Amino acid sequence: MKFAYFTHSLASCWNHGNAHFLRGVLRDLVHRGHEVVAYEPEGAWSLDNLLRDHGEAGLEAYRNLYPELSSTAFEADADLSEMVSDADVVIVHEWNDPWLVAAIGALRSQGARFTLLFHDTHHRAVSDPNAIRQFDLSGYDGILAFGETLAEVYRRWGWGERVHVWHEAADTRLFHPPTEEVERKGLVWIGNWGDDERSAELETYLFRPARTVGLPLDIYGVRYPEHALETLDRYGVTYRGWLPNARAPEVFARHLATVHVPRRFYVDMLPGIPTIRVFEALACGIPLISAPWRDSEGLFNPGEDYLVARDEAEMERHLTAVSRDPDLRRFLVTNGLAAIRNRHSCAHRVDQLLTILKTYGAEAPMEMSA
């Protein structure tokens, strides 16, 4: 089949977490023999920021490690009908302009033969529902929602069985344990500061506990304002700036453990939806300790795949145990890897996507194997 995916950016992961999952899914489709085209708008905010901060060199990791993938930038006056004329499946991500979402839906309503899905990987349907309601989805065949809580919103809006829960996952072609172990030291956290919606949690579950137990902490990410950098300096944290997501496995490989600190929206309003960093960290074979997060959909086995700290004191105890007990580290790594390899790779999500598409009558003439 031919897949056309409209994303904010495939090339840039600068403050754009959807690129992680999308790259893995599209690459898996390519390896199964499907044709894939990715479209992104000219002047995409994420790509512009990446190029401003790092120039073309900022794209090297993506280009080197995802040689199968490329994307086509389009202007607002592009001929969308021509772009999707021979597609069997078109998927439009939520981080696109309303006019684009509506225009592609109109093509489908007017008789285009592709199956059309809307892919939502954000909390706006819960936190700012009017922002999603501005999208005209009347021409869409179905919704891909990255968690059950989000899917339930669309069901209440009348989508019923046309909503499909499609969790993110790890691209295990890239995210895997190192082929050769090197000495591991300290903690690492990869994440963006954002808009202060988890600043208190970062101090409670990461900065203070790391300092208290004496573990050096490296942090990678973007959108750290001056007051955030001052906070990191106060706690003795080493801030290393933006990290191309394709290089995250080599960074995980140099550290003893990592920590998951979810944003408040995902704790309070979208339980059961972890950040993709959880999938990627476990896939890389690094012990993970999480701040409070309710795995309401049973994706993992908390306490076995990763540890959960219910408060600051428990985080300190977990960090101490993980740093001192190699058997505990091996236990967590073994179970975390098994969870990814058995249930949560991008290949698993492609299997699910192809099954979903069959319900709409979209399938390859012959079954393809990975």
Tokens, residue 292: 């409070």
2-169+345-359 is classed CATH 3.30.70.141: no
pLDDT (tens, 9 = 90+) of the chain, 370 residues, equals: 999 999 999 999 999 999 999 999 999 999 999 999 999 999 999 999 999 999 999 999 999 999 999 999 999 999 999 999 999 999 999 999 999 999 999 999 999 999 999 999 988 888 888 889 999 999 999 999 999 999 999 999 999 999 999 999 999 999 999 999 999 999 999 999 977 778 999 999 999 999 999 999 999 999 999 999 999 999 999 999 999 999 999 999 999 999 999 988 788 888 899 989 999 999 999 999 999 999 999 999 999 999 999 999 999 999 999 999 999 999 999 999 999 999 999 999 999 999 999 999 999 765 444 4
Residue of 124, 184, 180 whose CA lies nearest to 154: 124
Please tell me the pTM assigned to this model.
0.96
* E strand or H helix that includes residue 309: none
Residue 264 has a pLDDT of 81
Distance CA 286, CA 289 (A): 10
Q: Where are the domains of the chain?
A: 2-169+345-359, 187-343
Nearest to 186 by CA among 210, 151, 158: 210
Spatial separation of the C-alpha atoms in residues 222 and 259, rounded to whole Å: 17
Q: Can you give the pLDDT at residue 194?
A: 78
Distance CA 281, CA 303 (A): 16
How many other CB atoms are there within 10 angstroms of residue 45's CB atom?
15
Beta-carbon count within 10 A of 272 CB: 18
Half-sphere exposure (Cβ direction) of 79: Cα atoms closer than 13 Å: 4
Q: Give residue 24's identity as a one-letter amino acid code.
A: G
What letter does residue 171 receive in the DSSP assignment?
-
Q: Residue 137: how many CB atoms within 10 A of its CB?
A: 19
Question: What CATH number was assigned to the domain covering residues 187-343?
Answer: 3.40.50.2000
User: Residue 121 CA to chain centroid, in angstroms?
Assistant: 8
